[in-house]
Structures are given as structure tokens and as C-alpha cells.
Amino acid sequence: MIGEVLITLGVLVVLFLVWQLWLNDIMVGHQQGDYARQLTKSWSQQHSSAPTPAPSATGPASAAGPQPSTDAPPEITSAVDGRPFATLIIPRLGPDYIRPVSQGIGSNVLNSTKLGIGHYPTTQLPGQPGNMVLASHRKAYGGNFSDINTLHVGDHIYVQTPDGWYQYGFRNLEYVKPNGVGVLDPVPQVQGATPGQRYITLTTCNPLYSTAERIAAYGVFEAFYPASGGPPAEIAGTQAQAEGSK
Amino acid sequence: MYAALWRLLPGPWWVRVIILVVAAAAVLAACVFWIFPWVNVYIEPTEIPTVDQ
């Protein structure tokens, strides 16, 4: 009798671990992805009055797809703590990888089943010269940056705002101690330098299941695609899925 | 415990198996959707993924 109770409790503990370390991140990741798709959809409806080329019109004549803007990208000038202001799309992390990006790195953002990815308020916002630094959990609460160590040089990282898509190219990973605040500098690891470029930095825990170190993934701004012209071809599927979502 | 449960259940053996499978699925669903999330709030150590001074 007691043996059966103990075995049952043991099985429940193992099930809990399976849930916490694996299943829950998938479920929470989906919730965060759904919220990001809602944001995308509401932004695209704001722009529906603008002349957006219909998907059916993209025949051979426009096979090149939407073109990036040659002007300087628009700047986001302010963001409210705990509120989303962008979405993050990383094709390398999966065809469904779209997540909301919110202001702040407190538990209200990082430990949220709806938000998950936070922006360091002391760092720059999309379009501003300097470094836009994001943080998320490696595991738990969606584990959004679980696989950033699998990025390849040149992989595209997209940040979407109501204005359009900022395309960054992944450059390299860096491993630092938990107090390695150099990754937050406007020019990463160059204290006091004046930024001439726009960077994106994704930070999370390293190694997996540990908080001994931090891992940073750096990207460099490459191009801006205005919302009126439609998304870059690489993420057109993600965009269509978001606009078709409920 | 499980032997007593088996004796309490009505019907032939295959009806009892079906009842137990459905009950196990219900327990699993309750765990995943309500019990585990509730326990998790108390168990999870506060992992901080950010860099700080």
C-alpha cells in the first residue's frame, strides 16, 4: 500500500520534470507566438489603408519581392515598461518562430507566459544607432533563446515594428560572466565609443539549465523594409500566417 | 491500493481497462493544465538570464 503510493508520487515527479523541462516551454512558446501574431495582425490592419501589394499580385513581374528602403530606417523613440513594441522573427529557429518584444527586463516581462522577451531599457530601440539588447530565458517561460547557439553567420534576425521590418545579420556569439555588462554598450564591448552602426544583441543564460554564464548573440543591421512594401520574401510565410490568425 | 481499485470497478476486465485508461488520461490532463503550473510557481528557482553589475 505505502509502496504503491510512493511509486505513484515518484511517477508524478518524473511527469512534472518532463512537463517543466520540455512540454511547458513548447506550450508557453506557442502562447507567446500567438500573441506576437496578434500584434502583427493589428499592425498590418493599421496599414491596410496604404497600397499594399496583394499576395496574389506577386507574379513573375515582381519576382524580386519587396525592396529594402535606401533611406535611414525610422526610429522608435519610446517604449512603455511591460508593453510590447516589436516582434522578433528568426527563421533559423523555426518557421513558426515569432515572439513579442516588450520593454523592460523585470519578471513582469521575462517570467510572463504571454511576453517572454524583454528589452534592456538602458539600450537603444529599433532604428537608433547603437545596440538594441534583448533578454529572455534559455529554459522555462517559453525558453525563447534556447537555441541561439545554433545560429549561423549571416542568418537573418528580423525585428518588426508597426513601421516595418529591420533586418539584422547574425555575426558571432560571445560568452561572458553574469556581470559582463560590456555586451550592453552602444558599441558592444567598446566602452564610450560612439556608435556608427545599429546592432542587435540577444542575451540569455549559458550553459543550458545553468546560470553560471551568459551567452550573447550579436547581429548587425543590414536593411529596412517599410510596412507599405510588404515583408521580405524570407518571412512572407510567417507574415501570412499571422494575418490569417484569429 | 490499485488492487482494491480494480476490485471496485464494475464490468468485465476490458471495461475496467477502458475506465482506467480514461481516468489516467484525465489525471494527466489535470496535471499538465492546472496542477503543474500551480506547483511550478512555488518550485522554480528564480533564474535571472540578464547581465548585471
- Per-residue pLDDT tens for B43-52? 766 677 888 8
Q: Is residue B51 part of a domain?
A: no
In terms of pLDDT, which residue wins out, A149 or A211?
Answer: A149
**Nearest alpha carbon to residue A84 among A33, A119, A45, A113:** A119
Contact criterion met (CB < 8 Å) for A19 and B28: no
**Over pLDDT 90: what percentage of chain B?**
47
Percent of chain A with pLDDT over 70: 93
Under 8 Å CB pairs connecting chains A and B tally to: 62
- Residue B25 sits in which domain range? 2-32
pLDDT at position A222 is 94
Find out whether the peptide bond into B37 is cis, omega within 30 degrees of 0: no
| pLDDT band (50, 70, 90) for residue A64 | low
In this predicted structure, what is the pLDDT of residue A145?
A: 94
User: Over 50: is that where the pLDDT of A61 sits?
Assistant: no
User: Looking at A85-89, A203-207, A215-219, which range is the least confident one?
Assistant: A203-207
Cβ pair A203:B53 closer than 8 A:
no
- Answer yes or no: do A19 and B36 touch at CB < 8 A: yes
- What gap in Å lies between CA A186 and CA A194, rounded to an integer? 7
In whole angstroms, give the CA distance from residue A12 to residue A30.
Answer: 24
Distant-in-sequence, close-in-space partners of A109: CB < 8 Å, separation ≥ 6: A82, A102, A103, A115, A116, A117, A118
Test B50 with A135 for CB contact under 8 angstroms: yes
Domain boundaries, chain A: 10-51+77-243
* pLDDT over 70 (residue A147): yes
The count of structural domains within chain B is: 1
Contact A16 B36 (CB under 8 A): yes
Average pLDDT of the segment spanning B21-34: 94
Q: Can you tell me the distance from the alpha carbon of A218 to that of A153, in angstroms, rounded to the nearest whole number?
A: 10
Say if the ipTM goes beyond 0.90.
no
Closest CA–CA distance from residue B47 to any residue of chain A (Å): 7
pLDDT tens digit sequence for A18-43 = 998 889 889 999 999 999 999 999 99
B37 lies in a domain? Answer: no
Least CB–CB distance from A211: residue in B28, B36, B48: B48
pLDDT digits (tens, 9 = 90+) for A213-232: 999 999 999 999 999 888 99
- Tens digit of pLDDT for each residue in B3-25? 899 999 988 999 999 999 999 99
- Choose among A239, A235, A221, A237: nearest CA to A47: A239
The residue assigned the cell 485508461 is B21
Q: What is the pLDDT of residues A97-142, one digit of tens each?
A: 999 999 999 989 998 889 999 999 999 999 999 999 999 999 888 8
Domain A10-51+77-243 annotated CATH 2.40.260.10: yes
pLDDT at A60: 44
Q: Which amino acid is at A112?
A: S
